[in-house]
Amino acid sequence: MLYRFTSRVVAKGAAVFAIVLLVSLGSPTQTLAQVEPAAQSAKANGNIDDPIESFNRLMFGFNELMDMMVLKPAAYGYRYVMPRPARNSVRNLINNLKSPVVLLNDLLQGENKRAHTTMSRFMLNSTIGVLGLFDVATSLGYPRHSEDFGQTLAVWGMGEGSYLVVPIFGPMTVRDAAGNIVDFFLDPLTYVAWENDHQEYFIGLNILDVVDRRERNIERIDQLKEDSFDYYATIRSLYVQNRRAEIRNQRVNENSFSSLPDYDFE
């Protein structure tokens, strides 16, 4: 049982790592050692390092096609069958299930006060909030914040690296790609699902997360497309600005354009 579980987890992690590695090395003339100084310089100037922009735009177009054919219709269907209070409870539940990963990254960053807030939120919402369906913690003075290992790497001094658009997974940087892999292994749900042969619940939860976030931004994304001269460049800018704000622990409005879906179906 343990061998089978470990094999599945390692196989999934290796698959994600392979995708990230292939994309991050998509430019055959530019190694990671060459990319990093340029990325640091771009960050210092407030710019974005995008050395494989042509490839990224191609992948961006693919993801947009997937959004048009699959994700956006699913978001409309989700809105149709689920009333707003139910959708809010789904979002609260998903956020609560992410608390252990947020807590671990709070601690890894030495953010003890934020770790206390995360732990308090998890305990209050898991009990009084009925397993996280209701966010009672915010009204009690424990506002939600997000943390992930990509942010932890930034706090530890790692540069953000090049900007990437990964098929299905969407926009990220090299640093965030590495962080996503680590967060997968930090998440207790990974081990609960695979140990008990309930991978379908784990995958379903992640799909629901993406569809819910897409539903919350239907009109905003439509407006953003309409107003953008270069939609690819707009999304790139918003993504990087959002991530830099999160690293500085600035509050990000989850209902703004900076909260964009990432087409992660797994």
Q: What is the mean pLDDT of the chain?
A: 83
Which pLDDT band, with edges at 50, 70 and 90, does 36 fall under?
Answer: very low
Instruction: State yes or no: pLDDT of 6 exceeds 50.
Output: no
Question: What was the pLDDT predicted at 18?
Answer: 42
Question: What was the pLDDT predicted at 196?
Answer: 76
Instruction: State yes or no: pLDDT of 9 exceeds 50.
Output: no
- Tens-place pLDDT, residues 123-142: 999 999 999 999 999 999 99
Considering the domain boundaries, does residue 263 fall inside one? no
Nearest to 88 by CA among 128, 141, 121, 129: 129
Instruction: State yes or no: pLDDT of 46 exceeds 70.
Output: no
What is the value of pTM for the model shown? 0.78
DSSP letters, 189-256, are: HHHHHHHTT-HHHHHHHHHHHHHHHHHTTHHHHHHHHHH-SSHHHHHHHHHHHHHHHHHTT----TTS
- Tens-place pLDDT, residues 49-74: 999 999 999 999 999 999 999 999 99
- Tens-place pLDDT, residues 195-227: 877 788 889 999 999 999 999 999 999 999 999
Considering the domain boundaries, does residue 6 fall inside one? yes
Q: Mean pLDDT throughout 25-42?
A: 37
Considering the domain boundaries, does residue 121 fall inside one? no
When divided into structural domains, the chain yields a total of 1
Question: What was the pLDDT predicted at 250?
Answer: 66
Considering the domain boundaries, does residue 106 fall inside one? no
Q: Which domain holds residue 41?
A: 2-82+148-247
DSSP 27: S
Question: What was the pLDDT predicted at 200?
Answer: 87
Question: What was the pLDDT predicted at 56?
Answer: 97
Strand partners, 165: 171
- Tens-place pLDDT, residues 77-125: 999 999 999 999 999 999 999 999 999 999 999 999 999 999 999 999 9
Question: What was the pLDDT predicted at 131?
Answer: 93
Considering the domain boundaries, does residue 17 fall inside one? yes
Considering the domain boundaries, does residue 107 fall inside one? no
Considering the domain boundaries, does residue 133 fall inside one? no
Considering the domain boundaries, does residue 252 fall inside one? no
DSSP 69: I
Beta carbons of 128 and 136 less than 8 angstroms apart: yes
